[in-house]
Amino acid sequence: MTTQNAGIIGMGHAIPSGILTNADLEKIVETSDEWITSRTGIKKRHKARDDEYTSQFGSLAAKQAIERAGIDVSEIDLIVCATTTPDQIMPSTGALIQAQIGAVNAAGMDIFAACSGFLYGLTMVESMIRTGQIRYALVIGAEILTKYVDYTDRGTCVIFGDGAGAAVLGPVPEGKGILATKIKSDGRYEEQLYAPGGGTKLGTTHQTIDDGQHFFKMKGNELFKVAVRSMADISAEMLAKAGYTVDDVDLVVPHQANQRITDAVASRLGVPEEKVYSNIAELGNTSSASIPIALDECIQSGRIKEGSLVLLTAFGGGVTWGGTVIRF
The CATH class given to the 6-174 domain equals alpha beta
At 194-211, the pLDDT tens digits run 889 999 999 999 999 999
At 214-242, the pLDDT tens digits run 988 888 777 899 999 999 999 999 999 99
Is 115 among the residues known to form the active site?
yes
Q: In percent, how much of the chain has pLDDT > 90?
A: 93
Marked catalytic residue, from 13, 255, 258, 298: 255
> Helix, strand or coil for residue 302?
coil
Distances from the Cα of 120 to the Cαs of 100, 123, 290, 298, 300, in angstroms? 23, 5, 14, 21, 24
* C-alpha–C-alpha distance, residues 73 and 136, integer Å: 10
> Helix, strand or coil for residue 131?
coil
* pTM of this prediction exceeds 0.75: yes
Pairing state of beta strands 177-185 and 78-82? unpaired
Provide the pLDDT for residue 12: 98
* C-alpha–C-alpha distance, residues 216 and 296, integer Å: 27
Do the domains 179-327 and 6-174 match in fold? yes
Does residue 233 contact residue 263 with C-beta atoms inside 8 Å? Answer: no
Give domain limits for the chain: 6-174, 179-327
In angstroms and rounded to an integer, the radius of gyration of the C-alpha atoms of the chain is 19
Across residues 4-28, what is the average pLDDT? 97
* C-alpha–C-alpha distance, residues 46 and 142, integer Å: 13
Marked catalytic residue, from 115, 157, 258, 298: 115
CATH number of this structure's domain 179-327, picked from the four choices 3.40.109.10, 3.40.47.10, 3.40.50.150, 3.40.50.970: 3.40.47.10
- Would you tell me how many other CB atoms lie within 10 Å of the CB of residue 91? 15
Is 255 among the residues known to form the active site?
yes
DSSP 8-state secondary structure symbol assigned to residue 159: T
Mean pLDDT of the chain: 96
Marked catalytic residue, from 5, 22, 258, 285: 285
* C-alpha–C-alpha distance, residues 287 and 34, integer Å: 23
Is 13 among the residues known to form the active site?
no
